[in-house]
Amino acid sequence: MNKHICFLKRVYRCALCLLMLLFTSTSVAEDKSLLISSNFSSVNGIKLHYLSAGQGETVIILHGFPHYAALWERTIKRLSQDYHVVVPDNRGYGLSSKPKGVDAYKIDVLAADVAKLIMHIGNNEKVHLIGHDWGGTLAWHVAETYPELIDKLVVINAPPLSTFLELLVNNENQSKASSYMNYLKSGKFEEKHKEEGASLIWAIGFDSLFNKQLLDERDKDIFFKHWNSIETLEAAINWYRANIPETLDNNFAPFTLSKTPALLIWGENERVFVPQIPELLAEGVENYQYVIVPNVGHSPFLENEATTSKIIEQFLSY
C-alpha cells in the first residue's frame, strides 16, 4: 500500500513539473512573440527587410525558396531567448527590394547583401550564420567568401553551389531530382502563376504542412500576400537563372572551408538533393559535422522545429 502511495506521489510530482514546464515555455514564447520587430536596412544598393528579436550574440538566418522571413517566426521565438536573431527577406523576396535583371541575383551579389547586413547590425563582431535551401547554399558562399564575419555556420538541407553544379553533371540521380529547375527557368511557371496566383506555389508542400497543423491560418495569409506577386516570383526564379547555367562543363573549383565550425542539418527523407552530400562535404570542410534528423524531409525547421532548434542551440553553445 505504501509503495502504491509513493508511486502515485512520484507520478503527481512528474505531472506537476511537466505542467510547470509547459506553462513556462508557453509564457516565454508569448512574451517573445511581442518582441519580434520589423526593420529595414539599406545595404548593397537595395533595401532589405528583416525581422529581429532577442539580445546577445547575433544569429542571422537566410531562408530558401519559396520561403520568406516570417516563416521562421517559431524558430525566432525559441532562439531569441538566448540570442539576437535576425531573419531577412532575401533580395527579391517578401518586403525586400526586387531589382530587375538576372545579374542582380548572382551569388556574389547575394553574398554581398549578407555581408553588408552583418556589418550593419553586427557591432563589428562575428555572427552565427544559418541558412536553408537556397539560403543554405548562400550561407556556404558567405562563409567561404567572408570568413572574417562568421563565427559558426549552420546549413539545413543545402550544398555549396559548386558542389551542387558538379553533382548536376556527374550524378544522374541529382540531375533527375533537379529537372524541375529547367521548368522554373523556362518562364512557363511564371505564365501559369498569372492564372493561378499563389495557390500554384501553396500546392508544393505547403498545403501538406498546413493540414498537419505545422502551419496555421496566419502563415497562410502571409504566404498568399507575398506570393500573389508575379514580381516576387520572377525575382525568386532569377536566383536559379543567375547561378545555374544552361550548359555545364566539368571544370569545378572544389568547395573548401577552413577554421569556421560548420554544421549540416539533413532531413532523413530529403528528396531535393542526393543523400551522399553530407559525407561528400567532409572532404573540403575542415571543421565539420553533420546531423541526420529522422522522419523529416527537406524542411526540418518546419517539420520538426523543436528538434531542429535544439540541434542548432547545442552547436552554437559549445
From residue 315, give the alpha-carbon distance in Å to each of 70, 187, 194, 263: 24, 41, 43, 8
Q: Would you say residue 27 has pLDDT above 80?
A: no
- Give the three cell numbers for residue 160: 555549396
Q: Tens digit of pLDDT for each residue in 143-188?
A: 999 999 999 999 999 999 999 999 999 999 999 999 999 999 999 9
| Contact yes or no for 13/7 (Cβ under 8 A) | no
Q: Would you say residue 38 has pLDDT above 60?
A: yes
Interior/surface letters 251-271, b for 16+ CB within 10 angstroms, e for the rest? ebeebebeebbbbbbbbeebe
Length of the chain as a residue count: 318
CATH among 1.10.3330.10, 3.40.225.10, 3.40.50.300, 3.40.50.1820 for 36-317: 3.40.50.1820
Domain-wise residue ranges, the chain: 1-34, 36-317
How many CA atoms lie less than 13 Å away from 225 in the CB half-sphere? 11
- 181, amino acid identity: M
pLDDT confidence band for 55 (50 / 70 / 90): very high
Give the mean pLDDT of 283-294: 96
Q: Would you say residue 9 has pLDDT above 80?
A: no
Q: Tens digit of pLDDT for each residue in 89-112?
A: 999 999 999 999 999 999 999 999
pTM, 2 dp: 0.89
